[in-house]
Structures are given as C-alpha cells and as structure tokens.
A and B are shown apart, each in its own frame.
Chain A
Amino acid sequence: MTSRVKTAAQVLALACVAGLLALLVWSVVHQEHAPGVGATAPAFTLHRLEGPGKVSLASYRGKPVVLNFWASWCEPCKSEAAVLQRDWTTYRNRGVVFLGVDYHDLDSDARRFVSAHALTFPMLEDGSGTVTGRYGISQVPETYVLNRQGRVVAHLRGPITDPGFAGQFQTAIAKAAA
C-alpha cells in the first residue's frame, strides 16, 4: 500500500514537471514574431475606428496594401500622419490601399487624432493589440508594405518620415504595385 502511494506520488510529480515543460515549449513555439520580407502577412479582421462594420485584410487581396500601425499618444505618428495622407492621395489612383491600425489606444483619442490630421484612408482599431502582436509591433509607428499576393515587401520600424525610410517606402510601394 505504502509503495503504491509512493509510486503514485512520483508519477504525479513527474506529470506536473512534464506539464510545465510542455507549457514552456508551447509558449516558445507560439511566440509572435514580425513576419519577414516574403512571408504572408497575418490575416485579420478589425472594427472600423469610425463608423460601423469590420474590415478584413483578405478583402484587399489582389491590391498592394500599406499597413500603418499608429497611436494617438505616439509623437512621431503626428509628423508621419501628414506624409501618409499625402502619399495616400498620390497612390490611391494607382490602386494602392492604405490602412491605418490604431494600437493600444482610446477610441475617443484616436478619432480626435484622425480628425485633427484630416486622415481619409480607412482606420481600424486594435485596442487590445491582438493583431498588432501578430505583426510583432513593439513601438509605433511601424509600416508594412504588402504586395498583391499579401506578402510582405517591406517592414519599416519607425516613421516613414525618417530620412532612412523615405526612399525605402516609395521603392517598396513601387515594388508592391508592380
């Protein structure tokens, strides 16, 4: 009886250790990484920031997409907004889609930001940061340029107004639209 209890306790302890190990492995395997150039951009469906309805990335398949992650509390996003709006008006006639994803933000603040910067391209809300996490966003602003197949052409970690990114951004859009 005693040895049976001892064996059961040992099995239980081993099971606990194995469970914890499995949990560790699972968390390492499922860690979210930014999709690299050439990888398929993670699919998502998000609520529109202004107005009802949802927008799915899949609905833009066949079109080049500029995916800009921003937040109203982000200082560099303010200077970037005007440039994004200007580029959007330039490229929209060439079939390029611009999508803004507001991250970890208050809806009211985000709407105020959109209105203050007169942004007219579609804005989506990701308050919980679920989608943003799948894109490996650590700091806003960050911008992805996707080609017609939904693959990443460029990932710019910083404002597109950054001198190092300005040329890269235009090149990436041209490449995505080709």
Chain B
Amino acid sequence: MLRLAAAMAAALVFAAPAAACAHPRTSMNYLQGQVMCPTCHTTLAMSDSPAAQRIRVFVAKRIAACWTAEQIESALVANYGQGILAAPSHKGFDLLAWWLPIVGVLAGAIVLAFGVWRWSRRKEPEEPDGPAGSGLDEETERRLDDLLARFD
C-alpha cells in the first residue's frame, strides 16, 4: 500500500511539469547532438568533460522547465557564442555553409553530365569500316582469316 502511494506521488511529481508544457518537450538526446562541448570540440553526446557535464545539467533544468530547443540553444549561444552549436545558423553569412555544398554538388553534376555528353558525342560518328560490323579493316580481316585457316 505504501509502495503504491510512493509510486503515485512520484508519478505526480514527474507528471506535473510534463503536463504543464504547452508544446512537446524537447529531448536531451536531440540537444546533445546539436550542442558542442566547448573545451573538447565534439558534440555534447560524445563528451564527458566537466564543461560538458555542466552544460548537460543546464539543458536538463531547462527541459524540465518546458523550454523549447530553440530557447535553450539561444541561451547557450548568449553564454558561449555561436560556436556552441554543432550546425551553423540558417541566416546571414552562416547560410553559405548550408548552400555551398549544394552548389558544389550541382556544379559537379553539371560538369559530369557535360563530360558524359561530350564523350558520347565523340563515340557516335565512328562507323565500322569492316563488313557486317566486325570493327576491323579489310587488311586485318584478311590476316585474321589466314591465321584461323591454319587451325582448320
């Protein structure tokens, strides 16, 4: 009976902040992949340094307080600067980091397509000189016949 009461009390304690959230609660796992450890230059998920542990505590408290991922990230940026985020922002100069790879891939695809088109065009006019499309000239054809005749 006591156990049941304790479990219900615990459920109420943990459920209360969850119910108070007006939006889906952001996850620690998600943020650990979005935030960098400032001293070890890996994501939070991959670090167990003292600085990373402090950030984890900071994030956990804000998740419990129903902060959104954006709000938590903004708070961290205000404290540590833009470098705390694993991915660059989607505005200003940072946009280059998102667009340059796409432009690079497109440019590569265009160059590749152009190369293939030129290569296929160069191959097209070459018509076989030999009879019935053997691809050999008359002289080679005759010598090949001679050689094969020796094996008959």
Contacts and interface: CB of A to CB of B under 8 A. Distances in A.
A109 B54 contact: yes
A74 B50 contact: yes
A105 B81 contact: no
Contacts of A106: 54-55, 58, 79
A127 interface: yes
B50 A130 contact: no
Contacts of A91: none
A129 B118 CA distance: 52
A130 B53 CA distance: 21
Interface string A67-94: 0000111110000000000000000000
Contacts of A75: 50
Contact of A73 (B51, B81, B111, B118): B51
Given A9-B111, A104-B38, A73 B80 contact: no
B106 to A, nearest CB: 15
Given A9-B111, A106-B58, A73 B53 contact: yes
Interface string B35-53: 0001100000000001101
Contacts of A71: 51
B51 A105 contact: yes
Contacts of A9: 111
A128 interface: yes
A104 B80 contact: yes
B83 interface: yes
Contacts, number: 34
Interface residues of A, number: 16
B80 A127 contact: yes
Contacts of A72: 54
Interface in B39-92: 39, 50-51, 53-55, 58, 79-83
Interface size class of B (residues with CB under 8 A): 10 to 19
21 contacts: A2-B118, A71-B51, A72-B54, A73-B54, A74-B50, A104-B39, A105-B51, A105-B54, A106-B54, A106-B58, A106-B79, A107-B79, A109-B54, A127-B81, A128-B80, A128-B83, A129-B38, A129-B80, A129-B81, A129-B83, A130-B81
A31 to B, nearest CB: 15
A106 B78 CA distance: 10
Nearest to A9: B111
Contacts of A107: 79
Interface string A89-112: 000000000000000111101000
B79 A127 contact: yes
Contacts of B51: 71, 73, 104-105
Nearest to A75: B50
Contact of B50 (A2, A73, A127, A128): A73
